[in-house]
Structure 1
Amino acid sequence: MESKKLNRKTLIFLSLIFILALGLRMRVFTKQMNVMNLSYDPKNYWIMSHQIVDDGIYGYAYDIPSGISNARVMPGYPLFLAAVYKILGDKFLQITAVRLLQVILSSLSVLLGFLFVKKAFKKDSAALLTALFMAIYPTYVLSTVMLLTETLALFTMLLYFCLSLFAFESGKKMINLITGVAFGAHLMIRPALLPLFIFPFIFALISKRSFTTRCSVQDDGKVCQSEHSEESSLSAIRQKNRPLVSMFLFQLIGVVLIMAPWWIRNIVTLGAFILTAEGSGNPFLAGTYPYFKDYMLDVAEEIKGNNDLQMAYGIERLIHGFKTEFWLYIKWYTIGKTAHIFNEPYLSRLL
């Protein structure tokens, strides 16, 4: 089933899928609407957003306000929470409003998923299946009521994917600039995609490099491509690549426009250029507790707020664990962690 425009049947199915997605998310929202006991990362983000508004300090810590500035997490999601808190002025009403906004964004992500697959593969059936899976996927449904980056990151990522297709298809400077802005917005929430920014351009460059072989027949056989024709081909390739270079530059400008305030803030406030965030120590340390037994109970207070100390202590725990409980750690880092996570989804434990 291939078509450029949505036919009536596809539109009906897509509408039903959207209603299903919205209904499932609203069901979770209504069940969790009065639950305000946050823990772990949701609680930390929540406290952080209040500190931003009330004290003007951007800093991430555990269970308490950081009291000092840091760059442990990207600013996109904390600023989103802070904006809601600033508008409403109530910490608990903030939770409800954020959950409701995330229900809407997650439902719209289903439509973006459909649009991306439809645009990329020109298949209504594949696009509808994508939308359906996104509508019912438990993680996407449950994450809407959690104060976590998942929902906003998914929305901005899919928005970037969709805009990228339009940008490469049209080559228009403004669309490429907007695409770069969308990518920058996603990086401000989750920076994991940053190394992949160049890949669409590499793919486009490779696909455009079609050398034209010109052949002439001589007495001793077929001779292909004279020096003149080779120069002509290279000139043609350069001409073809000029729009690609322009597209790359405009997308890069869009990314820089969004990321620059974060870089400047880090230089001015922290005295260092920090490209994304510097909070890798905590998840690394957390992973050194097999089956999360005695989770973080042995972590001293001075370590909790320091990324470098957390990374160092995590390495120390890892080495000690393999020395003293080798098979436990082997099992944990091979099949144990996967089995533990998928036995009960992580988000379910937080609800």
Structure 2
Amino acid sequence: MFRITGVSRSAKLYLFALMAFVGIVSSIIVLVYNDYFFLGDPLKPNNDDVKYIQTSRLLLNEGVLAYNTGDKPSAFIMPGLPLILSGFMALFGQEDGGVIAYRLYQCVLQVLSIYLIFWLGHRIFNTRTAIIACTISAIYLPDYFSSGVILSETTFRTILLLLLCVTIIALERNKARYYLLLGALTAAAAYFKPHASLYPAVFLVLWWRHHIPWRLMLKYALLMAGVYILLLTPWWIRNWVTFHEFILFTSSGGSPFLLGTRIHGQLPPAGFFEAYPQYDPKTLFQGSDRLAVQKGIDIIKYGFTHEPFKYLYWFTAGRWMELYFHPFYSRPIWPITRPDMNVIQKILMIINMLGICWALIKHRSNRLLPLAAALGYFTIIYIPFVAFNRYGYPNMILLILFGSYFIEQLLGYFSKLSSNGLRKRRTVTS
């Protein structure tokens, strides 16, 4: 399905060498740095990564999925990561062995991602763009940090790349089996990040541009929805049996919608608490999702009324900045420090944004649309919710593909200038 055709032998050799490089280097990094990548304290679970380890042990030993609730069942998180990590623990031990195996599994996913990046770059743009994108990914240190940290970002990024690849194939071949696979991949993504669930909505635009008959649209939509529902049903049954209520995804103690109203972590303007005396600064951001929605609506309403430009920025360009301009790099890897990576990230993002603009102007092709639609969806979906670098990391490779196209075009332009100059010199000499 993902065969690479129409590519020179030298380009394929470079790709496989790059894959080997990423596999070896990422494995060495996670083995040498090992527990350096912990964001919390394993003895006192105080961060998502060490909480995931605790959850996975409990799931393996007691068959109970609990997070932030001791040994009592909860629906605080989706079960994707604990299921995989507990599987590695069952095979390699519940202490270092299982955790190291999980890190090495993420290294394998990084290698697979290099291949998928090449496939996408070649299909959407050209071989040189694919080579540049893979090279950038191979030296992009947040990828190696992501291999070492016990979080779901590496797995989700791989599923995202597979979603995009299968989207392109489904549009090209127009066969039902690819839409069944898309439904399965969307469900797999939802087991890690529920916001992926509405990804099939991008097909409304893609089908329209590809002139797909409405009957086929309906058929494919039902196929994706049917597989998605079938694969999410075990989660819904578990929640119904455990909590005697239907929980679509999670029922957490902190609302992403409410937290998303905090501009740089600050409280609302002082006047907000005068206008809404029922809220207290100490408890405003506490409570469950059900109670939080109205709070968030009230904050947004007040903010857009009294500080419209500030809130407009926060829910547009501010989201973009929070997602993409801060690297997912909480544990620096020698020799690049966090301040160094901050600068590199900003430079890379400027190139990526130039690439988006250039591609939209110069690369007006249906081949570009799935990439633009995926990036648009996975960015816009965060506008109402809390957004930060960890959530933006899986999308960085989509941005890098645009940036790589810009670099390729720039190299082509300078190469043409150089060739023209050489031709002129030869003409003058002769």
Please indicate, yes or no, whether the TM-score normalized by the shorter chain is above 0.5: yes
Following the alignment from structure 1 to structure 2, what is the Cα–Cα distance between the partners of residues 337 and 175?
A: 33
Moved over 6 A (4+): 284-293, 309-318, 331-344
Q: Which residue of 2 aligns with 1:229?
A: none
Q: Is 2:56–2:85's contact at 8 Å kept on the other side of the alignment?
A: yes
C-alpha offsets along residues 245-283 of structure 1, whole Å, 9 cap, x if unaligned?
A: 322222222212221111221122122222222337166
Following the alignment from structure 2 to structure 1, what is the Cα–Cα distance between the partners of residues 218 and 289?
A: 38
How far the C-alpha of 1:170 sits from its partner, in A, is: 1.8
SS in 1 for 2:330: helix
Are 1:142 and 2:145 counterparts? yes
Q: Is 2:183–2:226's contact at 8 Å kept on the other side of the alignment?
A: yes
C-alpha offsets along residues 68-108 of structure 1, whole Å, 9 cap, x if unaligned?
A: 21211111111111111122233221111100111111121
Q: Is 1:180–1:251's contact at 8 Å kept on the other side of the alignment?
A: yes
Are 1:60 and 2:50 counterparts? no
Q: Which residue of 2 aligns with 1:83?
A: 87
Are 1:188 and 2:160 counterparts? no
How far the C-alpha of 1:342 sits from its partner, in A, is: 8.8
How far the C-alpha of 1:317 sits from its partner, in A, is: 11
Q: Which residue of 1 aligns with 2:19?
A: 18
Q: Which residue of 2 aligns with 1:5?
A: 6
Are 1:242 and 2:243 counterparts? no
Following the alignment from structure 1 to structure 2, what is the Cα–Cα distance between the partners of residues 55 and 350?
A: 36
Give aligned-pair identity as a percent. 25
When residues 344 and 196 of structure 1 are mapped into structure 2, their CA distance, relative to the original with a 3 A threshold, is: closer
Letter in 2 for 1:148: L
Q: Is 2:163–2:186's contact at 8 Å kept on the other side of the alignment?
A: yes
Q: Is 2:189–2:197's contact at 8 Å kept on the other side of the alignment?
A: no
Letter in 2 for 1:72: F
Are 1:44 and 2:51 counterparts? yes
Are 1:268 and 2:241 counterparts? yes
Following the alignment from structure 1 to structure 2, what is the Cα–Cα distance between the partners of residues 132 and 277?
A: 38
Q: Is 2:19–2:115's contact at 8 Å kept on the other side of the alignment?
A: yes
Q: Which residue of 1 aligns with 2:171?
A: 168
Choose which of 91, 96, 107 in structure 2 pairs with 1:92.
96
Q: Is 2:122–2:130's contact at 8 Å kept on the other side of the alignment?
A: yes
Following the alignment from structure 1 to structure 2, what is the Cα–Cα distance between the partners of residues 309 and 21?
A: 46
Q: Which residue of 2 aligns with 1:279?
A: 252
Following the alignment from structure 2 to structure 1, what is the Cα–Cα distance between the partners of residues 205 and 244?
A: 35
C-alpha offsets along residues 96-154 of structure 1, whole Å, 9 cap, x if unaligned?
A: 11001111111211211221232334x11222222222222222221111100100001
When residues 127 and 37 of structure 1 are mapped into structure 2, their CA distance, relative to the original with a 3 A threshold, is: closer
Q: Is 2:38–2:149's contact at 8 Å kept on the other side of the alignment?
A: no
Letter in 1 for 2:177: M
Q: Is 2:38–2:150's contact at 8 Å kept on the other side of the alignment?
A: no
How far the C-alpha of 1:42 sits from its partner, in A, is: 0.3
Following the alignment from structure 2 to structure 1, what is the Cα–Cα distance between the partners of residues 215 and 290?
A: 44
Letter in 1 for 2:243: L
Following the alignment from structure 2 to structure 1, what is the Cα–Cα distance between the partners of residues 200 and 78?
A: 18
Q: Which residue of 1 aligns with 2:232?
A: 259
- TM-score, normalised by the number of residues in structure 1: 0.71
- TM-score, normalised by the number of residues in structure 2: 0.59
CA RMSD of aligned residues (A): 4.1
Larger Rg: 1
When residues 252 and 342 of structure 1 are mapped into structure 2, their CA distance, relative to the original with a 3 A threshold, is: closer
Letter in 1 for 2:52: Y
When residues 244 and 119 of structure 1 are mapped into structure 2, their CA distance, relative to the original with a 3 A threshold, is: farther
Following the alignment from structure 1 to structure 2, what is the Cα–Cα distance between the partners of residues 28 and 332?
A: 36
Following the alignment from structure 2 to structure 1, what is the Cα–Cα distance between the partners of residues 183 and 260?
A: 34
Are 1:73 and 2:74 counterparts? no
Letter in 1 for 2:14: F
Letter in 1 for 2:63: G
Choose which of 111, 114, 121 in structure 2 pairs with 1:110.
114
Following the alignment from structure 1 to structure 2, what is the Cα–Cα distance between the partners of residues 147 and 260?
A: 26
Following the alignment from structure 2 to structure 1, what is the Cα–Cα distance between the partners of residues 253 and 67?
A: 13
SS in 1 for 2:132: helix
Q: Which residue of 2 aligns with 1:348?
A: 330
C-alpha offsets along residues 19-51 of structure 1, whole Å, 9 cap, x if unaligned?
A: 332243124213223548551110111101111
Alignment map for 1:280-319 (pairs within 5 Å): 281=254
Following the alignment from structure 1 to structure 2, what is the Cα–Cα distance between the partners of residues 342 and 172?
A: 35
Q: Is 1:181–1:257's contact at 8 Å kept on the other side of the alignment?
A: no
